[in-house]
Amino acid sequence: MKELEAYRIGLIGNGSWATAIAKILSKNLSNIRWWVKDDFVKGHLIRSKHNPTYLTDVEFNPDQFIISTDINEVVFESDIIFLVVPSIYVEKCLERLNVPLKDKILVSSIKGIVPNHYLAVNEFLHQKHQVPTENMGVISGPCHAEEVALERLSYLTVAHQDPKMAEMIANCLRCDFIQAKITDDVIGTEYGAILKNIYAIAAGIAHGVGYGDNFQAVLMSNAIREMERLLYTIDWRDRDINDSAYLGDLLVTGYSFFSRNRMFGNMIGKGYTVKSAILEMNMVAEGYYATRGVYEMKDKFEVKCPIISAVYKILYQGKNPKKVMDKLTKKLD
């Protein structure tokens, strides 16, 4: 396998998490191809050395980046591509491609379901863009973009079926404030990141309707067991659900005030409609879009998932959050 310096690295996305990934990559790499959505963002990064919208305090050295609004240029010129756009924009973002993805190493740090297809991102890339499974990896937490911006010690999990490639990707990310471990559990890591966002919405709803820390602890305890049942059904393997990629990511997303999914749930619990909560937030709550796809999946596999069912009823059936959460309390232990 080639050394890290021999790979051309690309980054697609310019939201908060993409900006955090750019900051991390810049600690190890001197030549990063970065696709951003428009000339305004590109110009601001070049002239002012900041993302104008997200993590605006993070300063970049423009000499380390080749910033482009042409996704074909970035894909063509890259060997390893970090894909970091919200799941709701993945299809639209990639539909502009006339350069094939199948020969690239794609590393998804997207924690959601592709709408209309109800597929995890790697499944979407495999089915719609013919990317071989051996060319796909995943980055998961527990990690918030805001703490990366502050250079607080954070942990990432890199999943790839080839341990050597996983280590190569992890070496792109390791720095004085980032530790990265590797795993070959690509499916579990990706779906664990999707599921924890739904549970974070549940935690936010519970807080919004008035439940306290005692109930939150019970909710998270039940959530990790519910996650384990679903992951076991989706992709059976001997995984430790207490690992940081599963339990750790669930806890930080369920409890942290940086969590956009918890924030979204809290707004719903306080009486916001789904539409008004989405409009007020400046960031995408991936768990909202994931809830529908996962709800249909759990029915398909006949898995008992009372927390996901409760969130679905509130978000998609318009049920009263307080009444649904009150009923949920009787199903937890």
Check which CATH number belongs to the domain holding 321 and give it: 1.10.1040.10
**SS3 (DSSP) at 155:** strand
Question: Count of domains in the chain?
Answer: 2
Nearest-angstrom CA–CA distance, 11 and 136: 15
- Convert the pLDDT of each residue in 188-232 to its tens digit: 999 999 999 999 999 999 999 999 999 999 999 999 999 999 999
- Say if CB 310 and CB 202 are below 8 A apart: yes
Quick one: average pLDDT of 159-163?
Answer: 96
- Regarding whether 170 and 155 lie in a shared domain, the answer is yes
Torsion of CA 36, 39, 42, 46, to 10 degrees: 170
DSSP 169-195: HHHHH-BTTEEEEEES-HHHHHHHHHH
Residue 6 confidence (pLDDT) above 90: no
Task: Give yes or no: residues 20 and 112 share one domain.
Answer: yes
Q: Is 261 annotated as a binding residue?
A: yes
145 is in an annotated binding site: yes
Once rounded to an integer, what is the mean pLDDT over residues 142-169? 95
Q: Which is catalytic among the residues 42, 196, 298, 313?
A: 196
For the residues 20-47, what does the mean pLDDT come to? 95
**3 falls within a domain:** no
- CB-based contacts of 134: which residues, under 8 Å, 6+ apart? 161, 162
Indicate whether 41 and 171 sit together in one domain: yes
| 11 phi/psi in degrees, rounded to 5 | -135, 130
pLDDT at 281: 85
Q: Given 184, 202, 219, which residue is the final one in a domain?
A: 184
List the structure tokens of 182. 């590797």
Residue 165 pLDDT > 70, yes or no?
Answer: yes
Q: Which pTM value belongs to this model?
A: 0.94
Residue with the larger pLDDT of the pair 160 and 300: 160
Assigned domain for 279 exists: yes
**Residue 49 is among the residues annotated as catalytic for this protein:** no
Residue 23 known to bind ligand: no
DSSP 121: H
Beta bridge mates, 65? 32
Q: Are 129 and 96 in contact (CB under 8 A)?
A: no
Q: Is the pLDDT of residue 314 over 80?
A: yes
Query: Residue 82's domain spans which residues?
Result: 9-184
In percent, the amount of the chain with pLDDT more than 70 equals 98
**Nearest C-alpha neighbor of 249 from the set 181, 289, 197, 177:** 197
Mean pLDDT throughout 128-139? 96
Confirm whether 1 is domain-assigned.
no
200 belongs to an annotated ligand binding site = no
pLDDT band at 251 (very low <50, low <70, confident <90, very high): very high
pLDDT at 2: 63
Q: Read off the pLDDT of residues 99-110 as tens digits, 9 standing for 90 and up.
A: 999 999 999 999
- Residue 219's DSSP bridge partners are none
* Same domain (yes/no): 20, 154: yes
What average pLDDT does this structure show over 147-157? 95
Hey, which residues does 81 pair with through a beta bridge?
Answer: 10, 106
